[in-house]
Structure 1
């Protein structure tokens, strides 16, 4: 369970870079009044069904009114029966092999969540395969080189990080971040900070269909 480490890392980023961070597992906070206080909502390793009908409607309104969403790792293993959420994330989780080292190819080095990362980023994580390739609807920021690990199921074009402008708001998703160790990695923290800034609307090109290898 890396959620405590993830919360601590995001709170540390907030303290370092001047933004406030609140954490909760209380779905009742997904109301118009509460969500309006935030520029970004982060789903950190969520799984399963987490919101009821009214909370879902409030979250959809939040995005339509210009809110930002960050999904980390198993955020794509969440709310399979909510089609809008699938669009917000970009796709859904399908499977994963064992935790192992692999190489990530940076497709858009100018995006804030990619700046400062090596063009070939080698790291250890739980590498997701997805039900579909989200490329046509999102801006792919990084892909996974399936020749560098075992268990990949998406072929030569395996998006692993992406963002999009959607329904008046913004979405950024990284499939990385399963392990506790991830949140202590300086480069991964840079990655998360840039994703949060992108979802907040500070910078970052998130036009769809770009970044193809």
Structure 2
């Protein structure tokens, strides 16, 4: 299959799962998921709509879930975005084509280094990967226009909600880690917080602290 056919098939699969925002589809077309699963046992399955294991016991989410989350975030070109849970770096790379600045926090040093290496290789100069406890966000850089959390919390984390600008949006999977979780969109308004439930998902749990590797 040619690269063009592969991309067409990939985009068709995304549309069939509800990803219809043209800016999101263009960003996902520009970022090759294969770049973020290279060297792994499953790199030949990068085009399939399925989560894949990566280092440190983590996963790279299936493209349709990445697309749905990105679409729900409604990123504008001037936005400053915080991602909690860098993982492979795939989600942050897509956000880099939609936002002004992307800060992505990961608790595993090995994943931070690998993701930053890919960002540099792809010349994504508006993304910064940082080692840290993402559950606390980045108070020194806050507030953020958009926050995306790629690990499941039992409730939307208070410290992250506090770092969301008025008018800002956070997308986060919420629920017990061993059960089906719900993808929640939180909008911060002048009057408080509005919650929208988007769809059932399954993510690794949001863990506090810094990992050992």
Same fold per TM (> 0.5)? no
More RCO (CA 8 Å, sep 6+): 1
The alignment's TM-score, normalised by the length of structure 2, stands at: 0.30
The alignment's TM-score, normalised by the length of structure 1, stands at: 0.30
